[in-house]
Amino acid sequence: MKNAILSELFNQMADIMEILGEDRFRISTYRKVARIIGDTPADIEVLLATGELAKIPGVGKSSLAKIEQFIKTGTITAHKQLLTKIPPKLLELLAIPGIGPKGVKAVYEELKVKSIADLKRAIKAGSFARLPGFGDKKAAVIARGIAFLEKSTGRIRLDQALEAAYLVTDFLRELSGTGRIQTAGSLRRRAETIGDVDILVAAGKGKQIVQAFTGAGFVQEVLAAGPTKGSAIIQTETAPIHVDVRVVPAESFGAAAQYFTGSKQHNVRLREIAVKAKLKLNEYGLFKADKMIAGPVEEEIYQKLCLDYIDPLLREDRGEVEAAKSRCLPKLITVEDIKADFHVHTNASDGNCDASDLAQAAKDAGYKYICITDHSRSSAIANGLSPERLAQQIKQIRKLNEKLKGVTLLAGSEVDILANGSLDFDDKLLAELDFVIAAIHSGLAGSREKVTTRTLKAMDNPYVNCIAHPTGRLIGQREPMDIDIAAVIKHAAQTHTAFEVNANPWRLDLKDTHCRMAIETGVKLAIGTDAHSVAGLALMGFGVATAARGWATKADILNTLSVAKIRSWLKSKRP
Ligand code: DGT
Ligand code: CA
Ligand code: CA
């Protein structure tokens, strides 16, 4: 569908016209057309061909001609002409939080600013602050906005988003007149990165709630404050984060939760179903003619559309709507099903607590066992264990187990996969361990052939039970290895090797779609927090959510097995 790009083009034309100071009426017409095209679930080409588009109020003759031209040729002459009227980098300024087309117009006209670099100079020189209506405060806001833009990839990690969400929901809960509060958007879906945090709150007095939010102490900059929606950049421990708060009446709360949880593609599919059933679905409710048939409760929206309830983790238009229709959605893994953590470090390598602390913490978390997996000798920076130290640690763990009640320690190792695919410890030592995860920690930038072969060879070892963080990515910081994921998944199935779902929000590795591939190929997943402290065990939920986004059920996840069952699963690979 060409809807998204076409909507973007109309918005961009409106931006440029606003910067150039052109006719306000035409600008708002373009914005409206952008919104209509962006919102409709139907393919714009079909709407145009059937004449439906012409009937929509707000889409005039000249807009129609532009849409037609775009569909025929892939460009719009008016858009190209507008682009020639401004410096090529000027539109990049619009990405700065808080500036907007009006601000861009002012700095372009008054200060001859043509790029973000120019604007930084103007702020430094003080000429920005001297512009009428701007001042030092605005200059500081924009400077922070530029810093924000330069630092971020535009998207934040799940843990950062959650921190912001907690801050805001705790604040909203304390306000008088607020009812239910619900995190929505990509955060509720636990997507691997988050653009902005969306929060819904049920309340009657929208404006008051929005004002309280935008006036809160954690707000660094207000982006918008309307009668029902407030947008702000808030300061958290780790980063400035964009948060949208929407105030919703209680009777529409379920519909709003459904709509604003998205994903957009999932919503498009739902609206198609509604339209086919002659119903109307939007953020206010599900309507038959003008009568609301569902709205307060999210589950009822799905029910009235003859669908099983779809967990937010699955709402990505990856087949979940079809599965809900035919009543064959998977029963997803949850944190309550988890009996173990497969990847933790102690102070023997680079962790900060000992095995007995972790055993106690695991017991407190309701686990039955936990695998101690310190680094091996080649990971020298991480104080990897020598064969002698590992042998010593195995003895210690066996001894500790005699004292422990209700929880068991499994002796493991996160053993390095060396450059040639061999392992950092010999088989004799590995055979002493209960659980071996193999990992690549060096040469991640190697060729596809090299990194794939290393991983395949490691899986051939009869003592390797699992591959840790199989692609090696660090979100926002390091690209994944160029590994042939299909090939390694296939080999894992053939060699009775599991894949880790590393729960650390920097990693989430395997990622959701790869989890799904693994599951469909019959590969088991072992969720590990990679904790280096007791607090680190709490990251388990990110791993569970990632696996569930890959459609994982209890049967796909090794962490759900009892001690006896995991022992026999692990042994069955051995000679
Ligand atoms: P993000 O913030 O980029 O990580 O992703 P989301 O999914 O949180 O997206 P966001 O914040 O732009 O909007 C939140 C949800 O609201 C989105 O998942 C679906 C819904 N939504 C927003 N705009 C539209 C729209 O134009 N059409 C439809 N159908 N749904 C929309
Ligand atoms: Ca969002
Ligand atoms: Ca948003």
CATH code of residue 467: 3.20.20.140
Residues 308 and 412 grouped into a single domain: no
The verdict on 262 and 380 lying in the same domain is: no
Q: Write the DSSP assignment of 389-409 as a string of letters.
A: HHHHHHHHHHHHHHH--S-EE
The closest ligand to the CA of 232 turns out to be 3
Proximal ligand: closest to the CA of 165: 2
Is 445 contained in some domain?
yes
Residues 264, 132 share a domain? no
Coil, strand or helix at 341: strand
Please check whether residues 366 and 243 belong to one and the same domain: no
- Identify whether residues 412 and 472 lie together within a single domain: yes
CA of 21 to the centre of ligand 1 (A): 30
Do 26 and 133 fall into the same domain?
A: yes
In a domain, 268, yes or no: yes
Residue 6, amino acid? L
CB atoms < 10 A from the CB of 85, how many?
12
161 and 142 within one domain: no
The count of structural domains within the chain is 4
**Is 87 domain-assigned?**
yes
Quickly count: other Cβ atoms within 10 Å of residue 427's Cβ: 11
Distance 412 CA to ligand 3 centre (A): 43
Q: Are residues 348 and 257 in the same domain?
A: no
325, 355, 378 — which closes off a domain?
325
**What is the reported pLDDT for 1?**
67
One digit per residue, pLDDT tens: the chain, 575 residues? 678 789 889 999 999 999 999 999 999 999 999 988 877 777 898 899 999 999 988 899 999 999 999 999 989 999 999 999 999 899 989 988 778 899 999 999 999 999 999 999 999 999 999 999 899 989 988 998 888 777 665 789 999 999 999 999 999 999 999 999 999 999 999 999 999 999 999 999 899 999 999 999 999 888 889 999 999 999 887 778 999 999 999 999 999 999 999 999 999 999 999 999 999 999 999 999 999 999 999 999 999 999 999 999 999 999 999 999 999 999 999 999 999 999 999 999 999 899 999 999 999 999 999 999 999 999 988 899 999 999 999 999 999 999 999 999 999 999 999 999 999 999 999 999 999 999 999 999 899 999 999 999 999 999 999 999 999 999 877 889 999 999 999 999 999 999 999 999 999 999 999 999 999 999 999 999 999 999 999 999 999 999 999 999 999 999 999 999 999 999 999 99
Q: Which amino acid residue places its CA nearest to atom 16 of ligand 1?
A: 260
Give the pLDDT confidence score for residue 152 in this predicted structure. Answer: 62
Distance (angstroms) between ligand 2 centre and the Cα of 195 equals: 5
CA of 186 to the centre of ligand 3 (A): 9
Distance 244 CA to ligand 3 centre (A): 5
Measured from the alpha carbon of residue 259, the closest ligand is 1
Pocket lined around ligand 1, Cβ cut-off 6 Å: 38-39, 185-186, 191, 194-196, 198, 259-260, 262-264, 267-268
Tell me if 197 is assigned to some domain: yes
**Ion ligand 2 nearby residues (CB, 5 A):** 185-186, 196, 198
For residue 196, the CA-to-ligand 1 centroid distance in Å is 10
No. of H helices and E strands in the chain? 25, 17
User: In terms of domains, do 204 and 341 share one?
Assistant: no
With the most atoms of ligand 1 within 8 angstroms of its CB, the residue from 242, 264, 549 to mutate is 264
- Rounded Cα distance between 88 and 92, Å, is 9
**Ligand 1 nearest atom to the CA of residue 38, by list position:** 26
Q: Which of 444, 447, 436, 442 is nearest to 528 (CA)?
A: 436
Which residue among 325, 356, 384 closes a domain?
Answer: 325
Q: Determine the pLDDT at residue 572.
A: 96
17-44 burial by CB neighbour count: b if 16+ within 10 A, else e? bbbeeeeeeebebbbbbbebbbebbbeb
Q: Whose CA is nearest to atom 25 of ligand 1?
A: 39
Which contiguous run of DSSP H or E holds residue 335?
none
Q: Which ligand sits nearest to residue 185's alpha carbon?
A: 1
CATH number for 259: 3.30.210.10
Structural domain contains residue 330:
no
Domain CATH code at residue 170? 3.30.460.10
Residues 464 and 522 in one domain: yes
The domain boundary, picked from 268, 299, 325, lies at 325
In 236-362, at which residue ranges do the beta strands (DSSP E only) sit? 240-248, 280-282, 285-288, 291-294, 340-344
Asked whether residue 98 is assigned to any structural domain, the reply reads yes
Q: Which ligand has the shortest distance to the CA of 265? A: 1
Query: How far apart are the CA of 337 and the centre of ligand 2, in A?
Result: 29
Helix H or strand E segment including 274: helix 264-276
Domain span at residue 292 reads 253-325
What is the CA(162)–ligand 2 centre distance, in A? 12
* Residue in the block written with tokens 């005039």: 60
Which CATH number goes with the domain that contains 121?
Answer: 1.10.150.110
Which residues on adjacent β-strands are paired with residue 373?
412
Specify whether 142 is located in the same domain as 184: no
Is 205 within the bounds of a domain? yes
Residue at 101 is within a domain: yes
CA–centroid distance, 196 to ligand 2, in Å, is 4
What residues does the ion ligand 3 have nearby, CB within 5 Å?
196, 198, 244
The protein residue with its alpha carbon nearest to ligand 1, atom 31, reads 264
CB 353 within 8 A of CB 346: yes
Q: Which of 260, 283, 317 to mutate to test the pocket of ligand 1 (most atoms within 8 A of CB)?
A: 260
What six digits make up the tokens of 119? 């604007």
Q: What distances in angstroms separate CA 192 from CA 149, 159, 188, 268, one per listed residue?
A: 20, 10, 11, 21
pLDDT of residue 141: 84
Clarify whether residues 367 and 510 are in a common domain: yes
Look at residue 196 and give its three-state secondary structure: coil
Q: Calculate the CA dihedral of residues 206, 211, 212, 213 and round it to 10 degrees.
A: 90
- Which pLDDT value is given to residue 151? 66
pLDDT at 144: 82
pLDDT at 310: 98
* Cα-based distances in Å from 8 to 14, 34, 39, 62: 10, 7, 12, 17
